[in-house]
Amino acid sequence: MSFLTAEWRRLALANYKVAPKVLQPYLPYKTELDLYNNTCYASLVGFMFKNTKVLGVKVPGHIHFEEVNLRFYVRFKEAGEWKRGVVFVKEIVPRHAITFVANTLYNEKYETRTMDHTWQEQENELLTTYRWKNKKDWFSFSVTSNKVAKPIPLNSETEFITEHYWGYNKTGKQKTTEYQVTHPRWDAYDVKSYSINVDFAREYGEDFRFLNTATPTSVMLAAGSQITVEGKSTIR
Protein backbone atom coordinates (compact mmCIF):
# COMPACT_ATOMS: atom_id res chain seq x y z
CA MET A 1 0.00 0.00 0.00
CA SER A 2 1.21 3.51 -0.83
CA PHE A 3 2.09 5.67 2.17
CA LEU A 4 0.04 8.57 0.81
CA THR A 5 -2.48 8.97 -1.99
CA ALA A 6 -3.97 12.28 -3.07
CA GLU A 7 -4.62 14.59 -5.97
CA TRP A 8 -2.22 17.43 -6.73
CA ARG A 9 -4.14 20.13 -8.60
CA ARG A 10 -3.41 23.48 -10.27
CA LEU A 11 0.36 23.42 -9.74
CA ALA A 12 1.81 26.91 -10.27
CA LEU A 13 5.56 26.81 -10.94
CA ALA A 14 7.93 29.78 -11.25
CA ASN A 15 11.31 28.57 -12.50
CA TYR A 16 14.57 30.42 -11.92
CA LYS A 17 18.08 29.94 -13.26
CA VAL A 18 20.40 29.33 -10.33
CA ALA A 19 24.19 29.13 -10.12
CA PRO A 20 25.08 25.54 -9.16
CA LYS A 21 27.29 26.77 -6.31
CA VAL A 22 24.17 28.11 -4.54
CA LEU A 23 22.59 24.66 -4.39
CA GLN A 24 25.67 22.51 -3.76
CA PRO A 25 25.40 22.82 0.06
CA TYR A 26 21.84 21.48 -0.11
CA LEU A 27 22.66 18.38 -2.19
CA PRO A 28 21.90 15.06 -0.50
CA TYR A 29 24.63 12.42 -0.41
CA LYS A 30 25.24 10.64 -3.75
CA THR A 31 22.95 12.95 -5.74
CA GLU A 32 24.03 15.54 -8.29
CA LEU A 33 22.31 18.53 -9.87
CA ASP A 34 20.06 17.70 -12.82
CA LEU A 35 20.35 20.27 -15.63
CA TYR A 36 18.20 21.21 -18.60
CA ASN A 37 20.14 22.63 -21.56
CA ASN A 38 23.10 23.09 -19.20
CA THR A 39 20.96 25.24 -16.90
CA CYS A 40 20.38 24.64 -13.20
CA TYR A 41 16.86 25.48 -11.98
CA ALA A 42 15.05 26.15 -8.73
CA SER A 43 11.26 26.44 -8.67
CA LEU A 44 8.72 28.14 -6.45
CA VAL A 45 5.69 25.84 -6.49
CA GLY A 46 2.16 26.27 -5.15
CA PHE A 47 -0.64 23.71 -5.42
CA MET A 48 -3.57 22.01 -3.73
CA PHE A 49 -3.71 18.63 -2.06
CA LYS A 50 -7.15 17.10 -2.65
CA ASN A 51 -8.71 13.88 -1.29
CA THR A 52 -5.62 13.03 0.74
CA LYS A 53 -5.34 9.62 2.39
CA VAL A 54 -2.54 8.31 4.62
CA LEU A 55 -2.27 4.52 4.44
CA GLY A 56 -5.68 4.50 2.81
CA VAL A 57 -7.39 6.55 5.53
CA LYS A 58 -8.78 10.08 5.24
CA VAL A 59 -7.80 12.09 8.33
CA PRO A 60 -10.42 14.73 9.20
CA GLY A 61 -9.10 18.25 8.62
CA HIS A 62 -6.22 16.93 6.51
CA ILE A 63 -7.98 16.02 3.28
CA HIS A 64 -7.81 19.27 1.27
CA PHE A 65 -5.04 21.82 1.88
CA GLU A 66 -2.48 24.08 0.21
CA GLU A 67 1.27 23.59 -0.18
CA VAL A 68 3.97 26.01 -1.29
CA ASN A 69 7.56 24.88 -1.70
CA LEU A 70 10.95 25.88 -3.06
CA ARG A 71 12.66 22.99 -4.80
CA PHE A 72 15.51 22.12 -7.14
CA TYR A 73 16.30 19.20 -9.41
CA VAL A 74 18.73 16.33 -8.91
CA ARG A 75 19.53 12.88 -10.18
CA PHE A 76 20.83 9.70 -8.55
CA LYS A 77 22.50 6.81 -10.37
CA GLU A 78 21.43 3.32 -9.35
CA ALA A 79 22.36 0.11 -11.17
CA GLY A 80 23.64 2.12 -14.12
CA GLU A 81 20.44 4.12 -14.57
CA TRP A 82 19.61 7.68 -13.57
CA LYS A 83 16.68 8.46 -11.31
CA ARG A 84 15.50 12.06 -11.66
CA GLY A 85 14.19 13.72 -8.54
CA VAL A 86 13.71 16.87 -6.50
CA VAL A 87 15.11 18.29 -3.27
CA PHE A 88 13.02 20.68 -1.21
CA VAL A 89 14.57 23.71 0.46
CA LYS A 90 11.33 24.19 2.39
CA GLU A 91 7.70 23.04 2.16
CA ILE A 92 4.89 25.05 3.74
CA VAL A 93 1.47 23.61 4.64
CA PRO A 94 -1.35 24.73 6.97
CA ARG A 95 -1.64 21.49 8.96
CA HIS A 96 0.61 20.64 11.93
CA ALA A 97 0.06 16.89 11.59
CA ILE A 98 1.29 16.90 7.98
CA THR A 99 4.43 18.75 9.06
CA PHE A 100 5.08 16.34 11.92
CA VAL A 101 4.63 13.18 9.85
CA ALA A 102 6.66 14.40 6.86
CA ASN A 103 9.54 15.71 8.95
CA THR A 104 9.63 12.68 11.24
CA LEU A 105 9.23 9.88 8.70
CA TYR A 106 10.72 11.39 5.54
CA ASN A 107 13.23 13.91 6.92
CA GLU A 108 11.44 16.65 5.01
CA LYS A 109 11.68 20.38 5.74
CA TYR A 110 8.03 21.22 6.32
CA GLU A 111 6.77 24.24 8.24
CA THR A 112 3.19 24.96 9.29
CA ARG A 113 1.73 28.36 8.39
CA THR A 114 -1.60 30.07 7.93
CA MET A 115 -2.46 29.67 4.23
CA ASP A 116 -5.27 30.20 1.77
CA HIS A 117 -5.92 30.00 -1.96
CA THR A 118 -8.18 31.43 -4.64
CA TRP A 119 -9.36 29.57 -7.71
CA GLN A 120 -11.47 31.70 -10.03
CA GLU A 121 -12.86 30.63 -13.38
CA GLN A 122 -13.79 33.40 -15.79
CA GLU A 123 -15.08 33.26 -19.33
CA ASN A 124 -11.70 32.86 -21.00
CA GLU A 125 -9.20 32.31 -18.20
CA LEU A 126 -8.36 30.82 -14.83
CA LEU A 127 -6.96 32.72 -11.86
CA THR A 128 -4.92 30.62 -9.43
CA THR A 129 -3.49 32.18 -6.26
CA TYR A 130 -1.69 30.67 -3.26
CA ARG A 131 -1.02 32.76 -0.14
CA TRP A 132 0.89 32.04 3.06
CA LYS A 133 1.77 34.01 6.15
CA ASN A 134 5.32 34.86 7.23
CA LYS A 135 4.98 36.35 10.73
CA LYS A 136 2.79 39.43 10.14
CA ASP A 137 3.15 39.53 6.35
CA TRP A 138 1.36 37.63 3.61
CA PHE A 139 3.34 36.24 0.66
CA SER A 140 1.61 35.17 -2.55
CA PHE A 141 2.02 33.54 -5.96
CA SER A 142 -0.68 34.13 -8.58
CA VAL A 143 -1.06 32.88 -12.15
CA THR A 144 -3.59 33.83 -14.81
CA SER A 145 -3.91 31.20 -17.53
CA ASN A 146 -6.02 29.87 -20.36
CA LYS A 147 -8.88 27.58 -19.34
CA VAL A 148 -7.96 24.55 -21.46
CA ALA A 149 -4.91 22.47 -20.55
CA LYS A 150 -2.76 20.99 -23.31
CA PRO A 151 -0.35 18.03 -23.41
CA ILE A 152 3.18 18.99 -22.39
CA PRO A 153 5.58 18.79 -25.38
CA LEU A 154 8.30 16.15 -25.31
CA ASN A 155 11.80 17.33 -24.40
CA SER A 156 10.49 20.75 -23.37
CA GLU A 157 11.42 22.80 -20.34
CA THR A 158 7.95 22.14 -18.95
CA GLU A 159 8.51 18.39 -19.27
CA PHE A 160 11.84 18.70 -17.44
CA ILE A 161 10.29 20.65 -14.58
CA THR A 162 7.26 18.38 -14.13
CA GLU A 163 8.72 14.93 -14.89
CA HIS A 164 10.76 14.16 -11.77
CA TYR A 165 9.49 11.12 -9.90
CA TRP A 166 11.76 10.80 -6.88
CA GLY A 167 12.30 12.81 -3.72
CA TYR A 168 15.67 13.06 -1.98
CA ASN A 169 16.41 14.47 1.47
CA LYS A 170 19.74 14.99 3.16
CA THR A 171 19.80 13.07 6.44
CA GLY A 172 23.55 13.13 7.09
CA LYS A 173 26.92 13.58 5.43
CA GLN A 174 26.73 10.02 4.07
CA LYS A 175 23.02 9.29 4.26
CA THR A 176 20.06 10.21 2.05
CA THR A 177 16.34 9.45 2.28
CA GLU A 178 14.74 8.46 -1.05
CA TYR A 179 11.06 8.01 -1.92
CA GLN A 180 9.10 7.61 -5.13
CA VAL A 181 6.22 9.78 -6.33
CA THR A 182 3.97 8.34 -9.04
CA HIS A 183 1.55 10.15 -11.33
CA PRO A 184 0.57 10.14 -14.99
CA ARG A 185 2.03 12.66 -17.39
CA TRP A 186 0.42 16.06 -16.81
CA ASP A 187 -1.18 18.60 -19.10
CA ALA A 188 -0.45 22.32 -18.66
CA TYR A 189 -2.27 25.60 -19.19
CA ASP A 190 -0.77 28.45 -21.21
CA VAL A 191 0.12 31.21 -18.73
CA LYS A 192 -0.98 34.75 -19.58
CA SER A 193 0.45 36.61 -16.58
CA TYR A 194 1.72 36.08 -13.06
CA SER A 195 2.51 37.89 -9.82
CA ILE A 196 5.01 36.84 -7.15
CA ASN A 197 5.10 38.65 -3.81
CA VAL A 198 7.73 36.83 -1.76
CA ASP A 199 10.76 37.92 0.24
CA PHE A 200 12.94 34.93 -0.58
CA ALA A 201 15.65 35.90 1.91
CA ARG A 202 13.18 36.00 4.79
CA GLU A 203 11.47 32.80 3.75
CA TYR A 204 14.37 30.67 2.53
CA GLY A 205 17.54 32.32 3.84
CA GLU A 206 20.28 34.60 2.56
CA ASP A 207 21.39 32.06 -0.07
CA PHE A 208 18.18 32.85 -1.96
CA ARG A 209 18.08 36.65 -1.58
CA PHE A 210 19.02 37.01 -5.26
CA LEU A 211 15.58 35.65 -6.20
CA ASN A 212 14.02 38.87 -4.86
CA THR A 213 15.26 40.69 -7.96
CA ALA A 214 15.42 37.77 -10.39
CA THR A 215 12.88 37.27 -13.16
CA PRO A 216 11.68 33.68 -13.66
CA THR A 217 12.81 32.10 -16.92
CA SER A 218 9.33 30.59 -17.13
CA VAL A 219 6.06 30.33 -15.22
CA MET A 220 3.82 27.30 -15.65
CA LEU A 221 0.47 26.02 -14.48
CA ALA A 222 0.16 22.22 -14.57
CA ALA A 223 -3.27 20.62 -14.30
CA GLY A 224 -2.05 17.88 -11.97
CA SER A 225 -3.57 14.46 -11.30
CA GLN A 226 -3.89 11.71 -8.76
CA ILE A 227 -0.53 10.92 -7.15
CA THR A 228 1.02 8.46 -4.74
CA VAL A 229 3.93 8.84 -2.36
CA GLU A 230 5.59 5.51 -1.69
CA GLY A 231 7.58 4.33 1.30
CA LYS A 232 11.07 5.61 1.95
CA SER A 233 14.43 3.93 1.58
CA THR A 234 17.92 4.96 2.69
CA ILE A 235 20.95 5.59 0.49
CA ARG A 236 24.29 5.12 2.26
CATH number at residue 180: 2.40.400.10
pTM: 0.97
Domain holding 32, by residue range, is: 4-235
Cα 68 from Cα 223, distance rounded (Å): 16
- Judged on CB neighbours under 10 Å (0-12, 13-18, 19+), 157 is middle
Burial pattern 68-99, b for ≥16 Cβ within 10 A else e, equals bbbbbbbbbeeeeeebebbbbbbbbbbbeebb
Give SS3 for 214: coil
**Tens-digit pLDDT string for the chain (236 aa):** 999 999 999 999 999 999 999 999 999 999 999 999 999 999 999 999 999 999 999 988 899 999 999 999 999 999 999 999 999 999 999 999 999 999 999 999 999 999 999 999 999 999 999 999 999 999 999 999 999 999 999 999 999 999 999 999 999 999 999 999 999 999 999 999 999 999 999 999 999 999 999 999 999 999 999 999 999 999 99
Count helices and strands (H / E) in the chain.
4, 15
Number of domains comprising the chain:
1
